[in-house]
Amino acid sequence: GLDSGTGLATGQCDIALAGIGVTDERKSKMEFTTVYFDDNLAILVPKGSSITSAADLKGVSVGAQQATSGETYAKENGAEVIQYEDTSLMFSALKTGQVKAVAANLSVVSEALTNDPDSFKIAYQDSENTEQIAAAVSSNNKALLAKANATIAKLKENGELDKMKAKWVGATSSTSASASSSAS
């Protein structure tokens, strides 16, 4: 229900904060905080795989989370996409050979690399396909939006945001070029 904004609009939740990509469709239904992360799309493969680029996905079974930019990216590159509801199932399918690759944001594939560095590698990181990540709130909750933006600004100023990026995504991540602009 993220694309519909229903959970935010009905008060089921106050803020959505978990790797949410800013899109025009979503902007029409909710407000976004300042972008706090630019997240490249990446292709994760088992070590030893011959896949080295997006072009290599054509006709290949590729795992992706449902309704994500990774799924769109895989389809655009001719992959036979297998949808997964969560990352653990997707990474398990890659490890057991049910899919030959996974297409997802770098922040997502970093989880698999951290948990199982001996099994996986990043075959390709597409810096031309970067998704801006922000938090989302109801369009009626300007006060919470202001507080969230203030918190993001503070985390950027004191360096904590960069520390979190390094810890959770690693040195291969990109940082937000639009640090001071609002995505709403």
Q: What is the pLDDT of residues 113-166, one digit of tens each?
A: 988 999 999 999 998 888 899 999 999 999 999 999 999 999 999 999 999 888
Cα of 133 vs its chain's centroid, Å: 7
Report pLDDT for 1.
Answer: 61
On the question of pLDDT at 178 being above 50, the answer is no
In a domain, 120, yes or no: yes
How much is the average pLDDT of 23-37?
92
pLDDT of residue 127: 85
Domain span at 63: 39-129
Q: Is residue 101 part of a domain?
A: yes
Q: Domain holding 64: CATH number?
A: 3.40.190.10
Within-domain flag for 5: no
Q: Residue 177 has what pLDDT?
A: 33
Is 158 part of a structural domain of the chain? no
User: What domain count does the chain have?
Assistant: 1
pLDDT of residue 50: 97
41, 105 Cβ separation under 8 angstroms: yes
DSSP string, 13-74: -SEEEEEEEP-HHHHTTSEE-B--EEEEEEEEEETT----SGGGGTTSEEEEETTSHHHHHH
